[in-house]
Structure 1
Amino acid sequence: MYVVLGDRKMDPDAFTSTLFKWDSRTILPTCSSSLMEGTGGLKELFHAYGVRYYTAAKVAELGFTARTLVDMKEEELEHMMNSLSQIFRWDLLVGERYGIKAAVRAERRRIQDHHQLRIDSLPQEGVQQHKEAVGSTWDVRKRMRSRSKTMSDEEEEEEEEEERQREHPFIVTEPGEVARGKKNGLDYLFHLYEQCRDFLIQVQNIAKESGQKCPTKVTNEVFRYAKKAGAHCINKPKMRHYVHCYALHCLDKDTSNQLRRQFKETGQKVGAWRQACYNPLVAIAALHHHDIDAIFNSHPRLSIWYVPTKLRQLCHAHRNNSASTSTHHHLLF
């Protein structure tokens, strides 16, 4: 049987095979390659935040990359998600909305910390000029390794000094109790965070006067300023180590005081008290869609601090467990 097209006869089998034949030269790159571009790719950007793979693929299909999302404003992100669900009829879950926002905020912080780390790692005496005679490429590499080793040794010495201070220089005390002995109480610990806030304001004022960019959070610049001001008890490892304890003190003072009394009565050490401060914070985050970043950013005394990675991971794990449990009960019903 032949198909007559105009005055030409065509074989239908040949027509079908020709119509559905793939031309390998015109195949577009797969979606997975586009997800790997930018600042880690959409797949990696959303992986730990409860966003489904198909949702990430749909966002990539619309032309968005991880770099684009990171550079977008909050209202632009909201507009993008509204367009995704309303115009393109995509079933965007409520948790995915918060997951996308949380992932973008986390990526922004990662980029900011990486940039700050690169600035802090620059040698203070300036870059040495390579106008001296060099014998070979091996000598150049050897010199570079020696220079980097000197820098790392200096950083390690500073970190070791800070680590010695970090070895739990506090004891568990009740609210209003003054510690005895060499170690300080928890009221003093929380007072250090208030001091950091004051130092941040001073650094911001100095930056405004000199026309430089003002830091909005307690960064390495603030810790260096505190050290120059004589506040040697304030250092980055110590303040980052107990920041979630201070967060509980700010968000739920009654629960914080109850924990302090409980651990003081049982004679437990400050390390155990520090670990116990995580669970109440996860419970608080559960009441706000597990968005611990939004809780920190909306609080006047916590917005200047970065959310600890472990606390964020615990909130995400609790959210995923809650979602899987609710799904299981729904299936049983």
Structure 2
Amino acid sequence: MPHARKMPQCIVGNIAGTREQRGDNVMMFPEAVAPNAPLNLNSKDHVQQEHSHAQIGPPGLLALPEPSSDNEGHKLPRKKPKRRLLREPGEDGDDRTREHPFIVTEPGEVARGKKNGLDYLFDLYEQCARFLDEVQQMARERGEKCPTKVTNQVFRHAKLKGASYINKPKMRHYVHCYALHCLDKEKSNFLRKQFKERGENVGAWRQACYYPLVDMARDNGWDIEGVFARNEKLRIWYVPTRLRQLCHLEKSKDSDSCIYD
């Protein structure tokens, strides 16, 4: 009978070592050993064992983020919170930050403090007309097309001439107030005096200037463009979008009332 080959002593030692290591592992992590009996998947013991398996390892290791070579040593810049500014719907559908650098004053009254009176406001439109004349004169000399209304080109020319206080947002914001001043000065002066006595701000006065113009458009067949075009001072200004909307709204109301009548 052939003799059984003896295993080398080093191999026997390694096998024993591996068994000892497995025994140590069982001693260190007894919960990692699978149970002999089948588990009920709906029981709480199975959920607790899965939870305990997931927590094997040095405490706190899973909470540490993995280092990245790209972001290591670099801090992301913190964004500054944006300031929320009060906004008011502007003309032509844009929303701009509005300030009211004017106060309601009666005709001939000088404003006090840091704000300006309404006479000064109306004078700005007269200045724009003079700047438009200068732009038209330069265009004729160069053989270019002359603008017929106060456009961005006029505002840029005014800024080059040192009149940086004249800007498109401000002038478009109060153009209907200037229109009332040109079309019906008596009505305009009455509103100024009335709102001055009430202590109203310039924003309320500005809103009140729309309605006399709507009445004028009604008397002229809702042709607000024609009302502006027939006035020498207003023909160089675009009709405000808000004024058009109000005229269209009132025209629709009149039409509905006529139908029901």
Tell me, yes or no, whether TM beats 0.5.
Answer: yes
Q: Distance in 2 between matches of 1:298 and 1:279?
A: 19
- 2:100 is aligned to 168
Query: Letter of the aligned partner of 1:283 in structure 2?
Result: D
Higher RCO (CA-CA < 8 Å; seq separation 6+): 2
- 2:123 is aligned to 191
Query: Letter of the aligned partner of 1:311 in structure 2?
Result: L
Aligned positions of 1:1-333 closer than 5 A:
166-329=98-261
Q: Distance in 2 between matches of 1:291 and 1:272?
A: 26
- 2:67 is aligned to none
SS of 2:164's equivalent in the other structure is coil
Q: Distance in 2 between matches of 1:233 and 1:171?
A: 17
User: Deviation of residue 251 (structure 1)?
Assistant: 0.6
- 1:119 is aligned to none
User: Deviation of residue 198 (structure 1)?
Assistant: 0.3
Moved over 3 A (4+): none
Q: Distance in 2 between matches of 1:301 and 1:228?
A: 23
User: Deviation of residue 216 (structure 1)?
Assistant: 0.2
Q: Distance in 1 between matches of 2:260 and 2:177?
A: 34
SS of 2:121's equivalent in the other structure is helix
Cα deviation 1:216-269 (Å, max 9, x = unaligned) = 000000000001101111000000000000000001111100000010001010
User: Deviation of residue 324 (structure 1)?
Assistant: 1.1
Cα deviation 1:65-122 (Å, max 9, x = unaligned) = xxxxxxxxxxxxxxxxxxxxxxxxxxxxxxxxxxxxxxxxxxxxxxxxxxxxxxxxxx
Query: Letter of the aligned partner of 2:135 in structure 1?
Result: V
SS of 2:147's equivalent in the other structure is coil
User: Deviation of residue 173 (structure 1)?
Assistant: 0.1
Query: Letter of the aligned partner of 2:143 in structure 1?
Result: G
User: Deviation of residue 323 (structure 1)?
Assistant: 1.2
Compare the two structures and name the one with the higher helix fraction.
Answer: 1
Query: Letter of the aligned partner of 2:123 in structure 1?
Result: H
**TM-score (ref. length: structure 2):** 0.63
Uncovered stretches (5+) of structure 2, i.e. residues with no partner:
1-95
SS of 2:162's equivalent in the other structure is coil
Q: Distance in 2 between matches of 1:264 and 1:216?
A: 35
Over alpha carbons, which structure has the higher Rg? 2
Q: Distance in 2 between matches of 1:290 and 1:327?
A: 18
Q: Distance in 2 between matches of 1:315 and 1:269?
A: 25
Cα deviation 1:48-77 (Å, max 9, x = unaligned) = xxxxxxxxxxxxxxxxxxxxxxxxxxxxxx
What is the total number of aligned residue pairs between the two structures?
A: 166
SS of 1:248's equivalent in the other structure is helix
Cα deviation 1:6-25 (Å, max 9, x = unaligned) = xxxxxxxxxxxxxxxxxxxx
- Percent identical: 66
Query: Letter of the aligned partner of 1:176 in structure 2?
Result: G
SS of 2:139's equivalent in the other structure is helix
Q: Distance in 2 between matches of 1:169 and 1:293?
A: 29
SS of 1:263's equivalent in the other structure is helix
